[in-house]
Structure 1
């Protein structure tokens, strides 16, 4: 992959970060041992600290091809059309997940892996991603920020094809615990840029305020979610965080029932919304979706979408889809 990125840079707080060290892999890391390692090491992780060091490694896996069976299972559980020639816009997250788990289960990763909660995702796709292409996947930990409920970690994933970055995402995850000073630290999300363009100092735009108190978007559909959604998505994606699987395992981390994966909720919304080939997506996960349950999907025709509780209208997810006409 060319040494060019989509601009997910310079947004974390705390101490300055050392340059990334690229580490090539020869195969996809096995998720089972990594998840077990993360679980066994979690009791030894200290209280979340936004100034802690993070791994300065960028894992790189070339020659990645999509397994048809896994893609079909993913399309079914997320609501994407089966048999398309191109990957769903959220699917590269699955390809990068084993690399992210290798980094986040390591001893040098400062937060406990079990119980991490996905809080936001930014995605940029340059164009259509052929199902039968060979990709190079790169993943690294960007850094930590203080949060009123603990500490957030940012993880960046990029997909390369033919030596160019064609897809990228930046996800934040919350480790709940004593936060940094009782209030959420200000954070400006990294802007999404075309390949080869890095963020310029001062070019970040402030995050929009939450839309929880705003008028709900027009309801397009109502979805009844079964208790097995987390297990089905976990089987398709490899993400078997215990908070998503069963009520008992979720209660160990303070949730009354299993909660849906954040990436499942945004994928399900985007399957209903649709996305152009060149696109930018931003989504915030406002409140957990408890399973089973009923949710209302809303959209206004301008690119905004949301997911609310079917009973009381509580906001679970807010997001925005933007068409990208140029990448120069």
Structure 2
């Protein structure tokens, strides 16, 4: 596997603009065997604090479990917008994440990130792609994330099915959150993820959505934050993004707990059978 080290994290907005311009004509079944790396990534404590406030974490120097994904998002975007990458980034659907924090991370620690894409796999609604992110402090592996993305298209009904999410917990909601119309723009400001489907209803409709939608990584972080400090590490969480959350809307959090494991779900307040996210947390 070839490793290419970048001098610094690239800017996300130009990459997303390039992805939109070059989306048409991408094809193929081979993912380049390439790892992109960036070293000495520093946490901006002001941006971290803004992220923590928006996602419900206590403001501190301990890095929330989803935050390294936010830091590495430009690197992942750079990998997926290379000319030889076979999938168009616009329209990719984020299906799930599995994240492990091997130990608590402090904002003072410089991080080295690696991102690698796996093979394309058939899916009943198109093709899926795995993307692996790793974070190190010096030579110590401190954090890993495996994401699954769907490229929609001609599917294969006989394709192997991935792991289904667990059943959402029953019972009354433990929290109710009203998500405002501008949540996507607020989260874009603290995360750098300026995908248009999250910012304005007209932009979202151009991408096939009836309204703009909340970032899945915001719903994931907000749910983890509500479960307490367990996810700060060492721990592993797995999240399935099952239905988009249109903005504005109201969602409910339901939680089931067992020794060593917690299951949580976000569901629609108006239509409780509609589940937006299911998450497990083990520590």
**TM over 0.5, yes or no?**
yes
Number of the residue aligned with 1:28: 9
Structure 1 unpaired stretches of 5+: 1-19, 188-206, 324-328
Structure 2 unpaired stretches of 5+: none
Number of the residue aligned with 1:77: 54
SS in 2 for 1:271: helix
- Aligned residue pairs, count: 277
Number of the residue aligned with 2:146: 170
The 5 A counterparts of 1:182-193 are 182=157, 184-187=159-162
**Cα shift readout 1:27-86 (whole Å, capped 9, x = no counterpart):** 11121221111111002224xx6xx1112111111111101222122112211111x121
Q: State which of 36, 39, 43 in structure 1 corresponds to 2:20.
A: 39
Q: What displacement does 1:272 show?
A: 0.4
**Cα shift readout 1:247-282 (whole Å, capped 9, x = no counterpart):** 111111211111111111110000101224200101
Number of the residue aligned with 2:201: 247
Q: What displacement does 1:22 show?
A: 1.0
Number of the residue aligned with 2:69: 93
Q: What displacement does 1:217 show?
A: 4.7
**Cα shift readout 1:290-318 (whole Å, capped 9, x = no counterpart):** 11100001112231110001111111100
Q: State which of 278, 281, 285 in structure 1 corresponds to 2:234.
A: 278
Between the aligned partners of 2:119 and 2:4, the Cα distance in structure 1 is 18
Answer yes or no: is the 8 Å Cα contact 2:13–2:194 preserved in 1.
no
Q: What displacement does 1:120 show?
A: 0.2
Between the aligned partners of 1:305 and 1:182, the Cα distance in structure 2 is 29
Number of the residue aligned with 1:68: 45
The 5 A counterparts of 1:106-185 are 106-179=82-155, 181-182=156-157, 184-185=159-160
Q: What displacement does 1:223 show?
A: 0.4
Number of the residue aligned with 2:257: 301
RMSD: 1.6
Number of the residue aligned with 1:14: none
After TM superposition, the score normalised by the length of structure 2 is 0.93
1:237 aligns with 2:197: no
After TM superposition, the score normalised by the length of structure 1 is 0.81
Task: Choose between structure 1 and 2: higher strand proportion.
Answer: 2
Q: State which of 255, 277, 280 in structure 2 corresponds to 1:317.
A: 277
Q: What displacement does 1:208 show?
A: 4.5
1:289 aligns with 2:245: yes
